[in-house]
Structure 1
């Protein structure tokens, strides 16, 4: 069964089939708009690094006001059978439902383009009856930050262990993909691999002119040693400058935690680091282990704490384990802060950071790491002693 919505006062419907001797029918439901316009109201600004995000399933229209113009992209539902219900989402170029329609949610998603208001207002309404829309999200930004983007998509993760890949076509201009977690205080996204050509920037939040929330940049094809990489935050935006890209993601980051091979580079960051606002939800535990099959490898963990914010009782514990034994442990606090930008190297097979804010609002932390070859391996020294004693 297909659901079609009409917002005109009247009109004609023409139905046809590809084959003869086919019986079909239709039912018409008529719903009157409320007499008074009542909406959820919000604002987007140029300086905002975090988009305004709403669930598309809404009993009231959503009115957004921008400094310049309003930009909108939509993330689709996970379930394919719910996709047709995106037709019930009507986007208006103005402050209410009397404004010109820009199109439907389904047209917006299928077109791989952002909708942009002609003025400072945009209104989005789900028509009654309100059909389920799953995890469909509406992502609003000020157009000043997104006006360079030609192809713009919203993406949804269907399976935690493998979200699949999103394809980005930058052949005629900048391309972008925005993803949104189910909740703002939990969940992660892991970029496992990428292919194609060009440069890929990753923003915590939306793309900004200032790039204040840019957390990582990759040269596709040349930076494979920096993947997999975990990204936290509530919203992430991937921006491609180049020809094309295929980016493989998952919501399970086991591949990141167990990727401690020699030559590996990456970073740990708290959930809302680079978000532009202090948050009490910055606590996070991050780790990376060095394995070959089921065997642990001794490597040299080289790391540099680039930024760490200590408010109140906030702590940051950095630990390295070597064959099950603690070889390095340092607890940083407001009174014992780390030397930023100082490189530390420690031998081991398990490297972790535990950042706890105890609900104090902080900027978070950012730590870069590189895995170097160890000058020793488990068992070599012991074997040398045994052979030496036997010979003499």
Structure 2
């Protein structure tokens, strides 16, 4: 039904006058040009003879030109025999192929041209019908501008944000990712989102949001600007994620796999994942030909993401990044040496990137803290606490850094542990504050640590206390806080006692 909605857009554009291409045009490559001045109600159609015969093993091509400030809607309805195919190529070098036995699709193209190719396969039973319609870009469009900082947080755009042109200015180059919505049937709507390699819609074509999503890659501009514009404003639920391409990781471009930028070294694929709010997602990653990346997005401040487990091969690393792919945004590294002690781990904020350096790995992710067992304490457990949007540097987003963490058990049969923690970063400016409490199984406080701008502002030493649970609250009174980062360790409460008992035993002799 959603696809039909897209196709209906073509029908309402008008077909008052139809210009036909003769059936024998299928025998050779033919150029298709609009009559000038362009009449947006005129449609070019091939063929008009419904009884047209298509010979076997026949290749047919059409080159459709598109003037500046215009786009084309191509509607294709075809039956494809075994061995046959349909493909379209948008200048300069992006090709989409259709191998299904029946193809019915609406596609968008921008200047200067695109190619349509049809191969009949080993049967004469195939057929193709297509229509082409030229439409002008809307007039008096108001662009929205974003400046991407080097090594800064990504900009996240909803689909609706691109109904007018979005112009992106980077310190180096612009990198663009697309995360599809949960409703997979909406993916075809991503075809309406076009990326231009420059500061306006008359810049060279770079790709579409659909091609980014399907290629398991990203687009990188050739210079420091790019423009995103959804030519047909159809309601969708995907997100566009944009960052300055200045990070220390690199990715091959899907538009030309032989070219890579040194700032993004050796990543072979990058995939967006929609994590269900209640279930556990099992993600298999392979990095045999280059690094593999899975990224997730969460726009609900009441929901966190949890990395439950990582089954990883010897010698490989799973690196976790918040907000963007730069060295400054790396927050954790998991190997087969720490994957049993450092997980589960709560991962907050908007964006997380999971980067596998080599080999194979299986990840378990969830947004349900009970299924993650996040609050379970066990001897040898290691991890970290962060504020809600730590690593997010866009103060104008007004994202509250307030956060709450709890590990342990408040029950009569709860086990006592030795909880250790230290703060490596803490924004205690203004009225910001941190409260750490270690309590027993009936909520009696064993230890209370209160930190403000007047206390412990540069204290990074470890603190250790016995109890049944540890809780931490970070509070801010204004959204300009950069948040905090703290490490924690959980050990048996008998470790310290056993050490001193051994000393006493030795001294007694």
TM above 0.5: yes
Report how far residue 329 of structure 1 moved. Answer: 1.6
| Residues 71 and 143, structure 1, Cα contact 8 Å, conserved in 2 | yes
Report how far residue 11 of structure 1 moved. Answer: 6.7
1:334 maps to 453
1:300-343 Cα deviation digits (max 9, x unpaired): 11222223221122221111121112222222222232672322
1:16 partnered with 2:120: no
| Residues 78 and 158, structure 1, Cα contact 8 Å, conserved in 2 | no
- Identify which range, 99-108 or 74-83, moves more after superposition: 99-108
Instruction: Give the root-mean-square deviation of aligned CA atoms.
Output: 3.3
Report how far residue 27 of structure 1 moved. Answer: 9.5
| Residues 332 and 338, structure 1, Cα contact 8 Å, conserved in 2 | yes
2:150 maps to 46
Distance 1:322 1:12, change over 3 A: closer
Report how far residue 163 of structure 1 moved. Answer: 5.4
Q: TM-score, normalised by structure 1?
A: 0.82
1:314 partnered with 2:418: no
CA distance in 1, matches of 2:151, 2:488: 31
Distance 1:360 1:11, change over 3 A: closer
1:267 partnered with 2:330: no
1:195 maps to 311
Distance 1:344 1:67, change over 3 A: closer
1:141 partnered with 2:243: yes
Of 468, 480, 484, 1:349 maps to: 468
Report the number of matched residues: 369
Greater relative contact order (Cα 8 A, min sep 6): structure 1 or 2?
A: 1
1:94-144 Cα deviation digits (max 9, x unpaired): 22222332332222111111111122222212122x22211x111111223
Greater Rg, structure 1 or structure 2? Answer: 2
Distance 1:25 1:326, change over 3 A: farther
CA distance in 2, matches of 1:90, 1:56: 12
CA distance in 1, matches of 2:143, 2:492: 59
CA distance in 2, matches of 1:131, 1:260: 48
Distance 1:363 1:144, change over 3 A: closer
1:270-305 Cα deviation digits (max 9, x unpaired): 12333346677222111111499x952222112222
Of 101, 109, 121, 2:205 maps to: 101
Q: TM-score, normalised by structure 2?
A: 0.65
Secondary structure in structure 2 of the residue aligned to 1:109: helix
Report how far residue 238 of structure 1 moved. Answer: 2.1
Structure 2 gaps of 5+ residues are 11-63, 65-69, 81-100, 103-123, 251-263, 496-509
1:379 maps to none
